[in-house]
Chains A and B, each alone.
Chain A
Amino acid sequence: MSATAFTVGVEATIAAAVRSYFTKFRVLPPRALVVSRTVTPMGPASFETLLRAMTGAQTTSFVIVVHGHEDGSGLHLKLANRGRAAVGEKTTHDKLRRLMTIAARSPASVSAEDRQQLGLRDAEIGRLIGLMQTLRGKNIRAIEFRGCNLGRNTNSVARFRAFFGTQSFGAPKLHSFFGLNPVGTGANLMRAHQRSHRGTTFTYSQTFAGKTCHCCIGVNDRRKPQNGHLVADDNTTVDAWIQANFDATATRGQERRLPIHGLWKFPDINLNDPDILGNLDPRPIFPLARNARNQHEYRTHVVYSP
């Protein structure tokens, strides 16, 4: 299923990393969307800009990379455009519900409370509803949201799906990350790569045919990922690591830096658990990752609206 990826409201460096990722690894699990283009629409960083870009796209499947709220309540995008500025409240599930309620009224009317709750004027509300209806008319097949946390809130997943009228809407319930990791190989690096680490760094190792690949990820003081690199015994092992985690047929090629994407898993902590002193390290879950029971783990952290 061919899809367009959109980045809106993220920094230029992140947009470039997202573009690099979907240029190298086109297939996004678990719905196997094939990303044909990655686009950063022109205009204010708003939900309206995203909707306009979606209405103009050739595809009916989308990957959306937008910053998400920590609690999963919505997006870090203001609702509408006013000239060159983004205006209104942030795009949360309750604001989408209000827009859908306004659209369903007969005859159509906007109350003072609507204006105040959305932080918009009537014309702006009207534009958003018009775009919603246009998108519903497109019969969107799938939207995969790849910002942080939206899947934590079932109201969000349900209302975003209803707003777009899409057959499938998926969002992760974990933090989502993109990065550009330098890649190095050889015995010397394998022995001494730790000297290049910056700050607290966790090393996640995988072995293929007796050779090892270390994926090292540095975290900030909140244990969220902020940098990384990849070190392996040789290039064949790098390729095996890529094929185990991102794309079963891809190789490193000439890349000095490998674009990466994943979800960031904090351990589930049960304070009544006597084994609380076990491994509490956070870890990445890459798109093709499998857990100890050989289940597709990335899939288990993407929530779909029924």
Chain B
Amino acid sequence: MARTIAASVGKGGVNRKDDSMTVQELLNGVPPEEGGPAPPLKVDGLPWQKTIAAIQNFQRVALGFKWPDGRVDPAGKTLARLNAYDAPVVAEELPPGPIWLV
């Protein structure tokens, strides 16, 4: 089931502690090569510089934002995409990953 937040998290956000922890956990579930933080974020509910930078990196890499705002909104694209990485892996399914021609 998709995880939700009550208010915005990140740069200029409301930054409630439980929401911030949710976002930090979701970011840690994203592989680094797809925009996840490396090393993983400390899940402390404090969305300061490292968390904001991780949100921006995720928005840039996974969502293709040219100007990432570093904020996760309750009904925004960033949270929806983060939740896609949080989907439970069904046994015996291995969805293919992307291949790009250059």
A interface residues (Cβ-Cβ under 8 A, vs B): 10-14, 16-20, 65-68, 146-148, 175-182, 184, 188-189, 192-193, 195-198, 201, 216-218, 224-229, 231, 256-257, 259-260, 264
Could you tell me the distance in whole angstroms from the C-beta of A215 to the nearest C-beta in chain B?
11
Could you tell me the distance in whole angstroms from the C-beta of A212 to the nearest C-beta in chain B?
15
- Asked if A13 contacts B100 (CB within 8 A), the reply is yes
Instruction: Give the contacting residue for B97; candidates A179, A197, A231; CB below 8 A.
Output: A179
Instruction: Give the contacting residue for B94; candidates A17, A193, A217; CB below 8 A.
Output: A193
- B1 contacts across to A, CB distance below 8 A: none
- Asked if A225 contacts B61 (CB within 8 A), the reply is no
B interface residues (Cβ-Cβ under 8 A, vs A): 31-35, 60-62, 64, 91-102
Could you tell me the distance in whole angstroms from the C-beta of A178 to the nearest C-beta in chain B?
6
Could you tell me the distance in whole angstroms from the C-beta of B72 to the nearest C-beta in chain A?
19
- Asked if B96 contacts A178 (CB within 8 A), the reply is no
- B35 contacts across to A, CB distance below 8 A: 16
- Asked if A177 contacts B101 (CB within 8 A), the reply is yes
How far is A306 from B49 in the complex, measured between Cα atoms in Å? 52
How far is A17 from B100 in the complex, measured between Cα atoms in Å? 9
How far is A231 from B60 in the complex, measured between Cα atoms in Å? 30
- Asked if B94 contacts A14 (CB within 8 A), the reply is no
- Asked if B34 contacts A180 (CB within 8 A), the reply is yes
- Asked if A227 contacts B96 (CB within 8 A), the reply is yes
Would A229 and B96 be within 8 Å (CB), given that A17-B33, A19-B33 are in contact?
yes
- Asked if B98 contacts A188 (CB within 8 A), the reply is no
- A68 contacts across to B, CB distance below 8 A: 102
Would A189 and B101 be within 8 Å (CB), given that A12-B64, A16-B35, A16-B61 are in contact?
no
Would A176 and B102 be within 8 Å (CB), given that A16-B61, A189-B92, A229-B97 are in contact?
yes
Would A11 and B96 be within 8 Å (CB), given that A147-B102, A180-B33, A259-B33 are in contact?
no
- Asked if A228 contacts B102 (CB within 8 A), the reply is no
How far is A296 from B10 in the complex, measured between Cα atoms in Å? 51
- A195 contacts across to B, CB distance below 8 A: 92-93
Closest to A185 in B: B94
How far is A192 from B96 in the complex, measured between Cα atoms in Å? 13
Could you tell me the distance in whole angstroms from the C-beta of B77 to the nearest C-beta in chain A?
16
How far is A147 from B34 in the complex, measured between Cα atoms in Å? 21
- Asked if A148 contacts B94 (CB within 8 A), the reply is no
- B99 contacts across to A, CB distance below 8 A: 177-179, 181, 217-218, 225-228, 260
Would A14 and B102 be within 8 Å (CB), given that A19-B33, A182-B97, A257-B33 are in contact?
yes
Q: List 15 A-B contacts (CB under 8 A).
A: A10-B102, A12-B61, A13-B62, A17-B33, A19-B33, A20-B32, A20-B33, A147-B102, A148-B102, A175-B101, A178-B100, A179-B97, A227-B97, A231-B94, A264-B101
Could you tell me the distance in whole angstroms from the C-beta of B30 to the nearest C-beta in chain A?
11
Instruction: Give the contacting residue for A224; candidates B61, B62, B101; CB below 8 A.
Output: B101
Could you tell me the distance in whole angstroms from the C-beta of B58 to the nearest C-beta in chain A?
11
- Asked if A180 contacts B101 (CB within 8 A), the reply is no
